[in-house]
Amino acid sequence: MKLLVLPGDGIGPEITEATVAVLDAVSDRFGLGIAYEFRDIGFKTYETHGTTMPDGILARAREVDGVILGPISHLDYPPRDKGGVNISAEFRVKLDLYANIRPARTRAGVPHRGTAMDLVIMREATEGMYADRNMFNGPGEFMPTEDIALSIRKVTARACERIARASFALARRRRRKVTAVHKANVLVVTDGLFLREVRKVAAEYPDVALDEVLMDAMAAHLVRDASRYDVICSTNFYADILSDLASELSGSLGLAGSINAGDDLAAAQAQHGSAPDIAGQGKANPTSLILSAAMLLAWIAEKRARPDLAEAAQAIEGAVDTALSKPETRTADLGGALATAAYAGHLCDLIRQHA
């Protein structure tokens, strides 16, 4: 099995190295034969090639079994026409990775805010309010005059239908409840279209309950009692905000795994950013990208009927749970003392000990 590995910016190379070490451990234990192809992106290639996204990256991504995408510093990139391509957006749109899947759950021993939770936020990732991906040509934001700024939001029936379908299919394997988050009381047309498509899909899943909640109320409900939710389905902007909130409530954004998935390809990507202020210091917590890699294995396992990959994903999850249950085996951001590489090494030991 071949994975394309793109370390990215800031702490990306450090947490990617830690993630590959953990993948090697499960590959050895379960005989997966994982191989890697490493390619540079981001500021490193901007300095050498004048672009953050070199030619051939997307084409190669289509040919491999999966992608490990490290954090990127796209807010600091130059404009797109000067080579500063937002790599996350490029992957999601050009490879049609329409479902940004973001679990959030509390873990034994890890302090959290609010109630216990075990939920998944299904974020539509190819359109919405995001100006860099909602137009065929040109950005979705523009200024007719220096004092007027306009932004266009794109919502299509096709995108709403398929994120809804992915949400209901997932809920059927979990606790059989989908919560659709919207603001149709004021965004009557666009969020109304989203709800129309969600309701159509819901009719095909009579065994899965559908709840509909306004975006502002949803933020309050997550803080008050996140335990009541199973799968949360929403458009790009709302789900982006809610997933960060849920992850922080569950313990830390640094513990939040994430994959960008399409019908035939998926890319693992940490929920957090590139944290350039601590890059190269061995302080970064690699858990988010490690859990994202486990999600990637589980996704491939389901697509290809590979129980060995599913077992490997469970082994990574189990090792993370064990490590996080004790303060002394956590990274500094969670009150521990382990550096990035030492933490990854501990996870590898836990995986091997249970072989």
Residue 310 CB partners (closer than 8 Å, separation 6+): 297, 298, 301, 302
pLDDT at position 252 is 92
Looking at residue 135, its pLDDT comes to: 85
Active-site option among 65, 98, 183, 229: 183
E strands, the chain, are 2-6, 35-38, 66-69, 99-105, 118-124, 141-145, 148-151, 177-182, 209-214, 231-234, 259-261, 266-269
Residue 119 shares a structural domain with residue 226: yes
The DSSP 8-state label assigned to residue 251 in this structure reads T
264 tagged catalytic: no
298 assigned to some structural domain: yes
Q: Catalytic residue among 46, 98, 130, 229, which?
A: 130
C-alpha of 145 from chain center: 37
* Residue 225 in tokens: 């009692």
* Nearest-angstrom CA–CA distance, 42 and 40: 7
Q: Are 24 and 97 in the same domain? A: yes
In a shared domain, residues 271 and 209: no
Considering the domain boundaries, does residue 133 fall inside one? no
Residue 35 falls within a domain, yes or no? yes
**pLDDT score for 167:** 98
Answer yes or no: do 228 and 266 share one domain. Answer: no
Q: Is residue 136 part of a domain?
A: no
**Upper half-sphere CA count for residue 218 (Cβ side, 13 Å):** 24
3-state SS track over 13-69:
HHHHHHHHHHHHHHHHHHCCCCEEEECCCCHHHHHHHCCCCCCCHHHHHHHCCEEEE
**Domain co-membership, 17 together with 53:** yes
| Domain presence at residue 95 | yes
Q: Is 40 noted as a catalytic residue in this protein?
A: no
Catalytic option among 244, 308, 321, 333: 244
pLDDT at 54 (0 to 100): 94
Contacts of 50 (CB under 8 A, 6+ apart): 83
Residues 117 and 219 in one domain: yes
Last residue of some domain: 201, 229, 250? 250
Reported as a single tens digit per residue, the pLDDT across 200-231 is 999 999 999 999 999 999 999 999 999 999 99
Catalytic pick from 9, 40, 191, 240?
Answer: 240
Among 201, 216, 250, which residue terminates a domain?
250
Tens of pLDDT, residue by residue over 28-83, are: 999 999 999 999 999 999 999 999 999 999 999 999 999 999 999 988 999 988 99
Residue 134: predicted pLDDT: 84
- Tokens representing 52 are 């953050």
Q: Is there a domain that residue 195 lies in?
A: yes
> Largest Cα–Cα distance in the chain?
65
- Phi and psi (nearest 5°) for 124? -70, 130
pLDDT in the model for residue 81? 87
- The single residue of 76, 82, 211, 216 carrying the catalytic annotation is 216
**How confident is the model at residue 243, as a pLDDT?**
97
Which residue, of 250, 275, 305, is where some domain finishes?
250
Is 216 an annotated catalytic residue? yes
Task: Dig out the tokens for 41 from the structure.
Answer: 């992106």
Contact assessment for residue 253 and residue 291, using Cβ atoms and an 8 Å cutoff: no
- Residues in the chain predicted with pLDDT less than 70, given as ranges, are 355
Partnered with residue 259 across adjacent β-strands are 101, 268
Q: Structural domain of residue 282, as residue ranges?
A: 1-103+253-355
Residues 213 and 262 in one domain: no
* 118 plus 246 within the same structural domain: yes
Q: Is 240 a catalytic residue?
A: yes
**Is there a domain that residue 137 lies in?**
no
Q: Quote the tokens at residue 342.
A: 């030492």
Active site residue 36: no
- Co-location of 120 and 234 in the same domain: yes
User: What's the CATH number where 61 sits?
Assistant: 3.40.718.10
Spatial separation of the C-alpha atoms in residues 70 and 89, rounded to whole Å: 13
Q: Are residues 172 and 207 in the same domain?
A: yes
Distance CA 234, CA 214 (A): 11
Do 218 and 265 fall into the same domain? no
Task: Tell me if 149 is assigned to some domain.
Answer: no
Quickly count: other Cβ atoms within 10 Å of residue 108's Cβ: 8
Beta strands in 314-355 (DSSP E): none
**222 shares a domain with 117:** yes
Number of domains in the chain: 2
In 321-350, which positions are buried (b, 16+ CB within 10 angstroms) versus exposed (e)? ebbbeeeebbbbbbebebbbeebbbbbbeb
